Chain A
């Protein structure tokens, strides 16, 4: 049946000669000079998972021996829903008894609306998942490091673990040794994180909000005592202040809720973090990418969402001011990059066949370049792409320093590259074929020579390839190609907690195509096929 594979590395980040590489809940540092492992950090949940995995394996043996059903509830084997969702549902189910269904946060909505064949009321679904979760909650959610970055001075490393929404800060001694300094649980699952020029951590989440948090949490910080805000009032109105029937119903449901104390407690728990956290801006959509950019001495925050928006806001402390948008995408945005040497240009890509090249401050589209055409060079049957990562590098050549843009797409075994021309076009497309699906890239500058590319890949069960590959580059007629491939000694760390079925690996690491809207959800209220996320029909229109 399901073969166990090693969960591949999915995040890579370089600090000079040190490579940080994350797989599942483990963070390793390697020397880029000799490829040797330097240190390992494990998320505290790693041990829990390892124990549970072993236990389940034992139980399964027993089950097999006693002839129990073949598809016995394998704790972590989830066919169509990544753990992200299951975990969410656990917290979501709490307050589902009311007139209106609890509105799931954006990321859950997305999963639901895109997981096919799941029609029906959100409420039903929540309770359905609950049963399923409880029926198989033997293995805790797998820890997964979803983001890695560092401060400009390379002295601090920031990691995000998705399963518990935590932001971790480490001190780096310059030699590959990390000391864990802090961990903070964000209100919603982070989807992108950067460190601002002032060492401020800026974090975008799947609910659409962007927060800033100081690199080092102030131990003396106290949650401000909230004077009576509207949020704190348990009942926000009474029968005498509500007049329309729809509002009255909503109010009744709220009063019902208030009687069931625990639910309300939970409401608040998610709203009040125990550390300094500033809401900078928000979209009503899942955020997929976040950049801090500078132009003409001014700093900006650039955010992109699943609903095709790229927003340009001023940087802190005026992040509430929107300067403009880059609009034109017709499918989700997967990633953004401002290329090296060209801070006037923004490249975006996602569910569409093309990359878009923007004069981002003016909000003007300068050009586009087809990704699909390149993907079809690898596999002519490919009909759509989901761009999961965009990067750039500078290649020193006789004609000066050339800027290249790189793209990877979910499930396509290649790195695509283009030369960014002075007139803002992407020319000289190149394809670097890979032995596995790329999950993340990192560019390593090399003194006086072309940079190297580190690729974290999923080799898949069939190939014995390494998960980390380091490419030395070449250039032929301005097209990038690979000269030489090396790797790190990654097999020095083999532990059972990084083993999982291929399905689990897919669920953990392949989430970009999910962002695509399925369409055909039906118009609300137009008979039979109401979208799953519509709210309770019993609240029919008012008189």
Chain B
């Protein structure tokens, strides 16, 4: 058992070693583990921008900060916007795999657990340092409760892809509002996604898969992709093999259920 105290000490140690020269070490997962569930309804001490315009992305994507003239603009602007989001990214396996695959897109993992977020941030930092001029500049992670604060980060139609991989199942009926896919939350995903954008879902829990399909199907802003389209999408495979949960399910020879949904144009009114 790694105690909290030990974890804290190791994380501090890791922070310190970062400051020194030498080869960047990857952070070790076991010092960033955290209780599995965070209540999406409670008031965490979260920091979030009051609105997308107030968000300072410059520390997350330093290579993409607009230079010149913009020194007096606060917050600093990027040359492009985040467009790919991994909701509940956990330890960030998907991000690390997508980063080289979609080199011209900015992607962001959103995770409610602070230590898990810290791990992903450290890992991205280490990978960036180990691969100067290489990939990973386009990937970042921040702590957020996406069920409450997605519109604080992204403007209408800003995103082209939203990944929801192996979300917490919340089995009990009375906890269904805690699920990350629901009729009402789907409206927020539709808001952040541009028409043509894709929601990717995957789970090993069959009934949760059915739930997600049922609720996205029922939402007039979404349309399910066919099996062929699903397979033709290069991200589908990555999602199946590169997420931490996906790997676990493979080890246990479990089944994975995938569903992709396209954001439709809003009807005229």
- Seen from chain A, the residues whose Cβ lies within 8 Å of a Cβ on chain B are 95, 98, 100, 102-106, 109-110, 113, 207-209, 229-231, 233, 236-237, 241-244, 246-247, 250-251, 253-254, 257, 264, 267-268, 270-271, 279, 281-285, 298, 307-309, 311, 313-314, 318, 320-322, 324-325, 327-330, 517-527, 531-537, 539-542
Contact = CB atoms under 8 A, between A and B. Distances in A.
Nearest to B211: A230
B114 A279 contact: no
Which of B33, B156, B184 has the most chain A CB atoms closer than 10 A to its own CB? B184
Contact of A523 (B44, B184, B245): B44
A318 B266 CA distance: 9
A102 B190 CA distance: 29
Contacts of A109: 39, 41-43
A519 B43 CA distance: 8
Nearest to A365: B51
Given A231-B176, A525-B34, A541-B35, A236 B169 contact: yes
Interface string B41-58: 111110000111010000
A307 B214 CA distance: 28
Contacts of B206: 237, 241
A284 B38 contact: no
B255 interface: yes
A534 B33 contact: no
A468 to B, nearest CB: 37
Nearest to B156: A324
Contact of A241 (B8, B54, B205, B220): B205
Report the 8 A-B pairs with minimum CB-CB distance, sorted nearest first: A282-B184, A533-B42, A236-B207, A327-B51, A541-B33, A254-B171, A243-B254, A525-B34
Nearest to A319: B187
Nearest to A240: B254
A524 B177 contact: no
B59 interface: no
B161 interface: no
Contacts of B266: 318, 321
Interface string B12-53: 000000000000000000000111111111111100001110
Interface in B208-228: 208, 210-211, 214, 219-221
B4 A527 contact: yes
27 contacts: A103-B175, A209-B184, A236-B208, A242-B169, A243-B249, A247-B204, A253-B172, A257-B172, A282-B184, A284-B41, A284-B147, A284-B148, A307-B148, A309-B151, A314-B269, A320-B187, A321-B266, A322-B156, A324-B156, A518-B43, A522-B45, A525-B35, A525-B113, A534-B35, A535-B39, A537-B35, A539-B35
A298 B113 CA distance: 41
A271 B173 contact: yes
Contacts of B166: 244
Interface in B88-110: none
B172 A233 contact: no
B185 interface: yes
Given A207-B177, A541-B35, 14 more contacts: A237-B206, A246-B37, A247-B204, A253-B171, A282-B177, A282-B185, A284-B185, A314-B269, A519-B43, A521-B43, A525-B4, A533-B39, A541-B34, A542-B36
Contacts, number: 212
A100 B37 contact: yes
A524 B176 contact: no
Contacts of A270: 174
B1 to A, nearest CB: 9
Nearest to A318: B269
B172 A267 contact: yes
Given A320-B219, A537-B35, A251 B171 contact: yes
Nearest to B257: A241
A327 B151 contact: yes
Contacts of B156: 322, 324
A397 B73 CA distance: 44
Contacts of B269: 298, 314, 318
Contacts of A237: 169, 171, 205-208
Nearest to A286: B41
A102 B184 contact: no
Interface string B162-187: 00001011111111111000111111
Given A103-B175, A243-B249, A243-B254, A233 B190 contact: no
Contacts of A279: 183-184
